[in-house]
Amino acid sequence: MIASEPRLLQELEGSPWDIEPYLRAGGYEAWRKCVNELDRDGIVNEIKQSGLRGRGGAGFPTGTKWDKVLHHRVKERYFVCNAGEHEPGTFKDRYLLKQAPHQLLEGCLIAAYTVQAKASFIYINHEYQEERENLQKALEQAKTKGLAGRNVLGSGMNLDIELFSGQGSYVAGEETAMLESMQGRPAMPRQKPPFYPTDFGLYGKPTLVNNVETLCHVPRILKHGAAWFTKVGTEKCPGTMLFSLSGAVNKPGVYEMPLGSPVRRLIEEFGGGVPAGRKVKAVFPGGPSFSMITADQLDLPMDFDSLKKAGTGLGSAGVIVVDDATCMVAQTLKFSDFFKNESCGQCPPCRMGTINLATLMAKIEQGEGSPKDLDSLLQLCGFVKGTGYCTLVTGAAVLVQSSLRLFRHEFEEHIALKRCPYQPAPVTA
Ligand SMILES: Cc1cc2nc3c(=O)[nH]c(=O)nc-3n(C[C@H](O)[C@H](O)[C@H](O)COP(=O)(O)O)c2cc1C
């Protein structure tokens, strides 16, 4: 946890789902302020002023989204908090569900109230059972205190939040697939445009969907003001963000840093560096769907715009460090298999593309590849990139392209040796 303000995480005594420590630390003050003092446009303006951008992957401006739903001509609206979290290397929402359930509930109450949602939900990864139980306990406590449920804060308004167990697939975290699955249908993404949730969401009505972390920032911003939030970060990406750090580091974990902090700071200062005797070979700064960066790029600032400019992306800040003892073909194959297994199969280029990419990658890793396969891989990436109703297949293609661009020599070595050079050579008689 960073020591200085502004920051997302607060130190609380006792169980995180216990409401008393949260109240003592000023929790639910922003919620009271919203109900008693601010009007809805005032809330949206403060969020806009803060420059908060969604932490679920796309970095979309949160205030703009809220504004769109609040002023939608259709008055039946819904709110869903996306706690689907299923990407390899991303576990910060789980951390928040565990450590800050009241902060999340407060953010959800504010969001639902602001857009005048008819019903509100938190869609949780089905594997997060303990977190879900604790969140339910926290919600019951908030209701007992009159902060949620019937006649909220004596205002005569009813505002309940329902916890919804997710379908348990990666694609189910994509917002339109999530909304489909909440209506009892297969978790398959909708075509966008035109089916953006802000226009056509749950039951075909305008729906505000926000990520767990995005919503946890909301009470802090409304309590301390937008200017407090923008004290750190970059001009276009203000505030702090939680980084899930995994792979070849001494201290994997969830770390909060201002946006725009260098990759090196996360790995060295927070992650304690790579294990002794090894060096950084590559880093996935935004999970497996974005291009890797190499050891000479560790001074890159970690924010949505800087990483995009550098040809990669921040996503939901699932940072995976790869060391020099790792075979990049095997590493790429591992994630290609993930994309193949997680494709929902709805869009043919994704269904076929992810299978073919993983098959070619396996062929090369097993020492059965030919130089032609490298051309085929690149051609296939070109065909499938940008197709599909969601970005899964684009991620699968970007992964392979980036691996081939940065580590082509490793692919060629596999082909020349007819085996993985990182595996011991077979003993011949
Ligand atoms: C394949 C896929 C999986 C996704 N999984 C999640 C997820 O688990 N949680 C999440 O908040 N966003 C996820 N997203 C992004 C959501 O579609 C959406 O952009 C986000 O929930 C919006 O919230 P935000 O504006 O607060 O970031 C995923 C997107 C894709 C393409």
Answer yes or no: do 336 and 289 share one domain.
no
Mean pLDDT (whole number) for 215-243: 98
Same domain, 166 and 285: no
pLDDT tens-digit map of 332-359: 999 999 999 999 999 999 999 999 999 9
Indicate if the pLDDT at residue 3 is higher than 90. Answer: no
Kindly report, residue by residue over 376-409, the tens digit of the pLDDT.
Answer: 999 999 999 999 999 999 999 999 999 999 999 9
| Residues 308, 334 within the same domain | no
Alpha carbon of residue 62 to chain centroid: 14
> How far apart are alpha carbons 15 and 13 in whole angstroms?
7
Question: Is residue 423, in this structure, part of any structural domain at all?
Answer: no
* 359 and 311 housed in the same domain: no
Q: Percentage of residues in the chain with pLDDT exceeding 70?
A: 99
> Is 2 part of a structural domain of the chain?
no
Q: Are 77 and 225 members of one domain?
A: yes
Q: Is 190 in the pocket of ligand 1 (CB under 6 A)?
A: no
3-state secondary structure the chain: CCCCCCCCCCCCCCCCCCHHHHHHCCCCHHHHHHHHCCCHHHHHHHHHHHCCECCCCCCCEHHHHHHHHHCCCCCCCEEEEEECCCCCCCCHHHHHHHHCHHHHHHHHHHHHHHCCCCEEEEEECCCCHHHHHHHHHHHHHHHHCCCCECCHHHCCCCECCEEEECCCCCHHHCHHHHHHHHCCCCCCCCCCCCCCCCCCCHHHCCEEEEEHHHHHHHHHHHHHCHHHHCCCECCCCECEEEEEEEECCCCCEEEEEECCEEHHHHHHHHCCCCCCCCCEEEEEECECCCCCEEHHHCCCEECHHHHHHCCCCCCCCEEEEEECCCCHHHHHHHHHHHHHHHCCCCCHHHHHHHHHHHHHHHHHHCCCCCHHHHHHHHHHHHHHCCCCCCCHHHHHHHHHHHHHHHHHHHHHHHHHHCCCCCCCCCCCC
Q: What is the pLDDT of residues 252-295, one digit of tens each?
A: 999 999 999 999 999 999 999 999 999 999 999 999 999 999 99
Q: Indicate the residue among 210, 229, 248 that finishes a domain.
A: 229
Q: Which mutation among 8, 69, 82, 192 tests ligand 1's pocket best, with the greatest number of atoms within 8 A of CB?
A: 82
Q: Are 327 and 317 in contact (CB under 8 A)?
A: no
Burial 89-100 (b: 16+ CB within 10 A, else e): bbbbbbbbbbbb
Question: Domain for residue 365, yes or no?
Answer: yes
In the sheet that holds 293-294, the strands lie side by side as 253-258, 240-247, 318-323, 280-284, 293-294
282 and 335 housed in the same domain: no
CA of 110 to the centre of ligand 1 (A): 20
- Ligand 1 center from residue 213 Cα (angstroms): 11
Answer yes or no: is 386 within a domain.
Answer: yes
In-domain check, residue 297: yes
Q: What is the pLDDT of residue 44?
A: 98
197 C-beta closer than 6 A to ligand 1: no
Is residue 85 lining ligand 1, measured as CB closer than 6 Å? yes
Cβ 58 under 6 angstroms from ligand 1: yes
On whether the CB atoms of residues 156 and 174 are closer than 8 A, the answer is: no
Which ligand 1 atom is nearest residue 58's CA? Answer: 19
The CATH number given to whatever domain includes residue 184 is 3.40.50.11540
The pLDDT assigned to 354 comes to 98
Query: Which pLDDT belongs to residue 1?
Result: 63
The pLDDT of residue 201 is 97
Nearest CA to ligand 1 atom 18: 175
Instruction: Band the pLDDT of 427: cuts 50, 70, 90.
Output: confident
Atom of ligand 1 nearest to the CA of 390: 31
Q: pLDDT by residue (tens digit) across 108-153? A: 999 999 999 999 999 999 999 999 999 999 999 999 999 999 999 9
221 touches ligand 1 (CB under 6 Å) = no
Say if 310 falls within a structural domain. Answer: yes
Write the pLDDT tens digit of every residue in 75-116. 999 999 999 999 999 999 999 999 999 999 999 999 999 999
The number of the ligand 1 atom at minimal distance from the alpha carbon of 212 is 11
7, 11, 269, 421 from 2: Cα distances, Å = 7, 11, 11, 41
Cα 116 to ligand 1 centre (Å): 22
What's the CA-to-centroid distance between 241 and ligand 1, angstroms? 15
Parent domain of 89? 19-229
Q: Which two tokens stand for residue 287?
A: 């999970």
Other CB atoms within a 10 A radius of the CB of residue 133 amount to 12
Q: Are residues 147 and 212 in the same domain?
A: yes
pLDDT score, position 238: 98
| 400 found inside a domain | yes
Whether residue 314 is found in the same domain as residue 340? no
User: What's residue 429's pLDDT?
Assistant: 66
pLDDT, residue 428, reads: 74
User: What pLDDT is attached to residue 423?
Assistant: 87
The whole-angstrom distance between residue 407's C-alpha and the CA centroid of its chain comes to 27
For ligand 1, whether the C-beta of 131 sits within 6 Å is no
Tell me the CA–centroid distance for residue 83 and ligand 1, in Å.
9
Mark which of 204, 229, 254 sits at the end of a domain.
229
pLDDT(316) > 90: yes
pLDDT on residue 138:
97
Residues 43 and 164 reside in one and the same domain: yes
56 touches ligand 1 (CB under 6 Å): yes
In the predicted model, is pLDDT for residue 2 greater than 90?
no
Q: How many Cβ atoms are within 10 Å of 21's Cβ, its own excluded?
A: 16
Give the domain CATH number at 315. 3.10.20.600
Provide the number of structural domains found in the chain: 3
pLDDT for 5 equals 87
84 lines ligand 1 (CB under 6 A): yes
Has residue 360 been placed in a domain? yes
> Is 425 a residue whose pLDDT tops 80?
no
**Shared-domain flag, residues 389 and 408:** yes
82 Cβ inside 6 Å of ligand 1: yes
- The reported pLDDT for the residue numbered 112 is 98
Model confidence over 167-216: pLDDT tens digits?
A: 889 999 999 999 999 999 999 999 998 889 999 999 999 999 999 999 99
Q: Are 212 and 9 in contact (CB under 8 A)?
A: no
Domain check: are 77 and 141 in the same one?
Answer: yes
Q: For residue 226, what pLDDT is reported?
A: 98
Largest CA distance in the chain: 85
User: Which residues, including other chains, have CB under 8 Å from residue 214's CB and lie 6 or more apart?
Assistant: 52, 54, 55, 56, 62, 107
